[in-house]
Amino acid sequence: MIQNYSLTSSLGGKIAVTTYGNENISQNKCIILVHGFKGFKDWGYAPYFGEYFANKGYLVITFNFSHNGIGENKFEFTEMEKFANNTFTLEIIELEDVIKAYQNNYFGEVQNPKIGLVGHSRGGAIALLTASKLENVKAISTWGSVSNLDRYSKRQKDIWRQKGYFSVMNMRTKQEMKLNISLLDDLEANKNGSLNIENAVSELNKPLLIIHGKEDLAVKISEAEEIYNWSNKEKSELILIDNTGHTFGCVHPFEGTNSKFNSVLEKTNSFFNKNLK
């Protein structure tokens, strides 16, 4: 069963949610997919992901951060002002809001639920930064995750402050997408605290599965290796997938799965079967 919801965040933002497998809610095990930068809940493989894990007995929650740029048109970036005003801290708060909504029976009644997070790219970082604070998050898998949110040179930051915004190009849609100074301010104020991924991973002490494509041109393998090196080796595993990149051979619009993505799904399913019993 697939259902759509509109969740109001603790800060008043509108979070669009799609759940898969609501018939499984009494199993008290849930997987939440956290999209990355320029990602969204209906991108490429995300609906296939939802159906795959629903068929494995999980309630699956996919959602859009309120400031990811997606509005009424669920496939196109139309809310560019919101996108420009997004921050990392806002995404952490909203992921916590989604988790709390599930725990508080927003999607159906649960008892002592066990939650797994899957975060792709920047979503991996947001998942890691959130997970250590919440007891019911029992296991985390990162896919092509960044190990550092500070990805800008001093020169870029200087121009950012001079212009009042930083521009990135969406190569798929050919849109210029602006980031306001609020994102830079958030990063610089919190990079040694609440946005420090090394500290979060070092303190995580929960099962962690790190998956990365060996041909990932967007996020280097060294970032996956950093996350693994910071982690508790007794509870973490690093898997590198040969001959595949940042989205494991999947594109948007979705053209179907492939052997590499199937391997990612199977390894992630085995991980959660073990750790969300």
Kindly state whether residue 178 falls inside one of the protein's structural domains. Answer: no
Kindly state whether residue 79 falls inside one of the protein's structural domains. Answer: yes
Kindly state whether residue 167 falls inside one of the protein's structural domains. Answer: no
Kindly state whether residue 20 falls inside one of the protein's structural domains. Answer: yes
pLDDT tens digits for range 180-212: 999 999 999 999 999 999 999 999 999 999 999
Query: Are residues 126 and 118 in contact, defined by beta-carbon separation less than 8 angstroms?
Result: no
Residue 133 banded pLDDT, cuts 50, 70, 90:
confident
CATH of the domain at 253: 3.40.50.1820
Q: Which amino acid is at 240?
A: L
Measured in degrees and rounded to the nearest 5, phi and psi for residue 155 equal -60, -45
Kindly state whether residue 263 falls inside one of the protein's structural domains. Answer: yes
Percent of the chain beyond pLDDT 90? 96
Kindly state whether residue 257 falls inside one of the protein's structural domains. Answer: yes
| Per-residue exposure over 140-170, b if at least 16 CB sit within 10 Å of its own CB, e if not | bbbbbbbbebeebeeeebeebeeeebbeeee
The whole domain housing 228 covers 2-149+193-275
**DSSP secondary structure of 69-86:** SB-SSTTSB--HHHHHT-
pLDDT at 51: 98
pLDDT tens digits for range 4-16: 999 999 999 999 9
Give the chain's domain count: 1
pLDDT tens digits for range 31-62: 999 999 999 999 999 999 999 999 999 999 99
**CA atoms in the 13 A half-sphere facing the CB of 173:** 18
pLDDT at 248: 98
Kindly state whether residue 222 falls inside one of the protein's structural domains. Answer: yes
pLDDT at 11: 97
Q: 277 in helix, strand or coil?
A: coil
pLDDT at 132: 84
Element (H, E) at 8: strand 2-8
Q: What is the mean pLDDT of residues 157-169?
A: 96
Q: Is the pLDDT of residue 171 over 90?
A: no
DSSP code, position 23: G
Measured in degrees and rounded to the nearest 5, phi and psi for residue 117 equal -110, 135
Kindly state whether residue 182 falls inside one of the protein's structural domains. Answer: no
